[in-house]
């Protein structure tokens, strides 16, 4: 807790990631607060997804300390020391992917039930209780389906519960991925470009969903996004990366007017107005 009463959920200190000769992230430090949406923005290749991959255990950072302190537990997880899947299993960090990664042949509902694997595994006594249909497992499964239907309601996918995930339209798949991540009951939700490929109406719905998740469930959200209408509207806090370095950090109003950010996005070109027009389209 700091003076403002906010809880620092994730503290990243001196994160550096080197791939051979390429320095993908260079000494980045930031904090993500509980009950806040923290956006990470930056031009293509700035290292945003690499930050996510370090956080969720897909990469082992070269240098850095990634400390996660879930509220009310008093525990501290050092994510850089944890094996990939354990970050989701024990530290409860959930993520979505830039190029959607659902289980396409499985039904929408099954996708959400798989996300509750560890809890169900315990309830089924590592398969034995489940094999003989003990009551303990059946109630656990019922509870898992209820949680799944709650998130299907929240994302507006409830009517499609029994269809296969691969057959959903693009926007629905994006929302399903968020629902699936939420079914793991995370304390920190990392979203990699959730608005990519969505139309303006879907983007607006996404904004509402994310604000609801933040307010009703009290978790921290870390967001990579190119769609400024999403970022500026819902973020509480923005971090700007460029060529692997953090160049700015602050609330949306501050970022909008920060000359370093403008330079990074628009280049040093004097003809800033035409550049602004194109940047609006791409980013």
Angstrom distance (rounded) from CA 24 to CA 20: 10
For the CB of residue 159, give the shortest distance to another protein in the complex, in Å.
Answer: 5
Choose which of 48, 95, 214, 237 interacts with another protein (CB under 8 A).
Answer: 95
Q: Which strands, in side-by-side order, build the sheet including 63-68?
A: 22-33, 8-19, 63-68, 77-78
Residues 32-91, interacting with another protein (CB under 8 A): 56-58, 84-90
Q: Which residues make Cβ contacts (< 8 Å) with residue 105, sequence separation at least 6? A: 164, 165, 166
Does residue number 103 form part of the binding site for another protein (CB under 8 A)? Answer: yes
Angstrom distance (rounded) from CA 110 to CA 23: 40
Helix residue spans in 126-169 (DSSP H): 128-131, 135-155
CB 164 within 8 A of CB 107: yes
Choose which of 73, 118, 274, 278 interacts with another protein (CB under 8 A).
Answer: 118
What crossing angle do the helices spanning 170-183 and 200-217 adopt, rounded to 10°? Answer: 10
CB 9 within 8 A of CB 38: no
Name the one range near another protein by CB under 8 A: 32-40, 62-70, 119-127, 224-232.
Answer: 119-127
Q: Which one, 62 or 163, has the nearer CB to another protein? A: 163
Q: Which one, 31 or 124, has the nearer CB to another protein? A: 124
Closest Cα partner for 188 from 215, 218, 209? 218
Choose which of 63, 120, 211, 272 interacts with another protein (CB under 8 A).
Answer: 120
Choose which of 23, 63, 158, 266 interacts with another protein (CB under 8 A).
Answer: 158
Q: Which one, 90 or 274, has the nearer CB to another protein? A: 90
Residues 175-214, interacting with another protein (CB under 8 A): 180-181, 184
The residue count for binding another protein (CB under 8 A) is 54
Does residue number 159 form part of the binding site for another protein (CB under 8 A)? Answer: yes
CB 226 within 8 A of CB 283: yes
Closest Cα partner for 43 from 255, 246, 243, 276? 243
Choose which of 8, 23, 67, 145 interacts with another protein (CB under 8 A).
Answer: 145
Choose which of 13, 27, 110, 283 interacts with another protein (CB under 8 A).
Answer: 110
Q: Which residues make Cβ contacts (< 8 Å) with residue 252, sequence separation at least 6? A: 231, 232, 235, 238
Does residue number 150 form part of the binding site for another protein (CB under 8 A)? Answer: no
The contact set with another protein (CB under 8 A) reads 56-58, 84-90, 94-95, 97, 101-110, 113-115, 117-118, 120-121, 124, 126-127, 130-131, 137, 141, 145, 148-149, 152, 158-167, 180-181, 184
């Amino acid at each position: 807790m700091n003076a403002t009463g906010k809880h620092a959920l994730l503290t990243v200190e001196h994160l550096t990631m080197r791939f051979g000769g390429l320095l993908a992230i260079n000494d980045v430090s930031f904090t993500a607060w509980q009950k806040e949406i923290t956006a990470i923005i930056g031009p293509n290749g700035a290292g945003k997804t690499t930050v996510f991959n370090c956080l969720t255990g897909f990469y082992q950072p070269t240098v850095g300390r990634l400390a996660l302190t879930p509220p009310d537990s008093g525990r501290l997880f050092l994510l850089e020391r944890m094996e990939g899947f354990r970050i989701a299993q024990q530290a409860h960090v959930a993520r979505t992917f830039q190029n959607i990664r659902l289980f396409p042949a499985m039904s929408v509902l099954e996708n959400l039930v798989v996300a509750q694997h560890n809890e169900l595994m315990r309830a089924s006594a590592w398969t034995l209780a489940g094999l003989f249909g003990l009551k303990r497992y059946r109630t656990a499964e019922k509870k898992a389906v209820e949680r799944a239907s709650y998130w299907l309601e929240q994302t507006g996918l409830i009517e499609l519960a029994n269809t296969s995930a691969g057959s959903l339209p693009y926007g629905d798949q994006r929302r399903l991925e968020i629902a699936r991540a939420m079914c793991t009951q995370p304390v920190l939700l990392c979203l990699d470009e959730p608005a990519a490929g969505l139309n303006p109406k879907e983007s607006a719905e996404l904004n509402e969903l994310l604000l609801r998740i933040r307010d009703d469930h009290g978790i921290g959200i870390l967001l990579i996004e190119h769609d400024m209408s999403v970022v500026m509207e819902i973020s509480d806090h923005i971090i700007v990366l460029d060529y692997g370095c953090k160049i700015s950090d602050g609330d949306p109003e501050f970022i909008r007017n920060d000359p370093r950010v403008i330079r990074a996005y628009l280049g040093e070109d004097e003809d800033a107005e035409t550049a602004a027009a194109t940047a609006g389209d791409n980013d």
